[in-house]
Copies of this chain bind each other. A is one copy, B any other.
Amino acid sequence: MNIEHQEQMQKVLSALKSMTVKNFFFVGCGGSKAALGPGDYFMDRELNLPSKVYTSNEFIHLNPKTLGENSVVITRSHSGTTPETVDATKFARDKGAMTIAISMDMASPLCREAEYVVHYNYKDGSDAVDGDTGMFWALIFNIINALSPNEKYDRLLNQLSNLENLFEVNKKNTYDAAFDFGKRNKREKLIYTMASGAYFDQAYSFTSCLLMEMLWIHSNAIHSGEYFHGPFEVTDYDVPFLVIVGDGPSRPLDDRALEFAQKFSDKIEVVDVQKLDYLKVDADLRAYFGPAIIGAVLRQYADGLAEHTGHPLSVRRYMWKMEY
């Protein structure tokens, strides 16, 4: 981690030590909200403190009663300009909460509104440990380790230095499958996604930002645990699903949903996190690393669709083109 990033992290941790934390709020929109999801998931499992995720505008209008001076509000926006998230940060700070903004741009409105900032590098060729996933994982597990110290978090934080290689190797290993997925699915107007646990937000992000936003393909991110309670009735031989089978505690949910889906649909694509190459990551830390790696792998499945549909991921019809 570079020195600027280390200093930001130290400021956050010092501030945390000087307060009594009562709860955590994760607040963002779309892909940024989804990117915060694993933070909520891991805190839920590891910390004896409540946490919750909100889409920014709902957070403001709902106005949670537990939000106050003992709250930590972590907001996130890639550009740092998302108006709802800037407003949510101001709203939380006005309530006396400790605010931490995550963005690639320190000069952005979001970072100006927040008391603490966590910057990440973006497409500048620097090591992945300083990128969006590396910095977010560092933030979350530094916080968890500060509030509930455990040697496994020390190891986890050290082994974030593997991220760059983990991304590279696993992207290479899944490239062919991802592009073949694009070829086989290029005529599809609708592709469902499915996942659970810390991976659910990856499915949500793939559905909302990659399929719907960037590729104009209809979709819905179905929680594997919810599949049998309604959604599974749309399963048919010609209905495509991209199923993430995670390697965390909820893997049995994914396995069960996958087994059923494969029985009745001929168009099931499986992304099995257990088949990733974890390189030098300790075996007991894999469930923390899987959700960090899978995003880079999944991106290639969207690249595959873009390649074969001739619809670049950069094309929009509304976003950035008009006021809304």
A interface residue numbers (CB < 8 A to B): 23, 29-33, 41, 44-50, 52, 55-58, 61-66, 82, 84, 190, 196-197, 207-209, 212-214, 216-221, 223, 225-226, 228-235, 249-250, 252-253, 256, 260, 264, 316-319, 324
Contacts and interface: CB of A to CB of B under 8 A. Distances in A.
Given A55-B226, A61-B252, A233-B317, 10 more contacts: A30-B226, A44-B52, A48-B66, A55-B223, A56-B225, A61-B250, A208-B230, A213-B232, A213-B233, A217-B234
A49 B67 CA distance: 10
A249 B82 CA distance: 21
Contacts of A66: 44, 48-50
A45 B58 contact: no
Contacts of A50: 23, 50, 52, 66
Contacts of A232: 213, 318-319, 324
Contacts of A252: 57, 61
Contacts of A197: 58, 61-62
Contacts of A226: 29-30, 33, 55, 208
B223 A220 contact: no
A311 to B, nearest CB: 11
A249 B62 contact: yes
24 contacts: A29-B225, A44-B62, A44-B64, A47-B65, A49-B66, A55-B225, A55-B226, A55-B229, A57-B225, A57-B250, A58-B253, A61-B253, A84-B225, A208-B229, A208-B230, A212-B234, A213-B231, A213-B233, A217-B234, A218-B220, A218-B234, A233-B317, A235-B318, A256-B324
Contact of A220 (B209, B220, B256): B220
A212 B230 contact: yes
Contacts of A30: 226, 228-230
A253 B107 CA distance: 28
Contacts of A31: 229-230
A66 B45 CA distance: 8
A138 B113 CA distance: 41
A49 B220 CA distance: 32
Contacts of A209: 229-230
Contact of A65 (B45, B63, B207): B45
A115 to B, nearest CB: 22
A283 to B, nearest CB: 19
A216 B233 contact: yes
A49 B66 CA distance: 6
A44 B25 CA distance: 12
Contacts of A55: 223, 225-226, 229
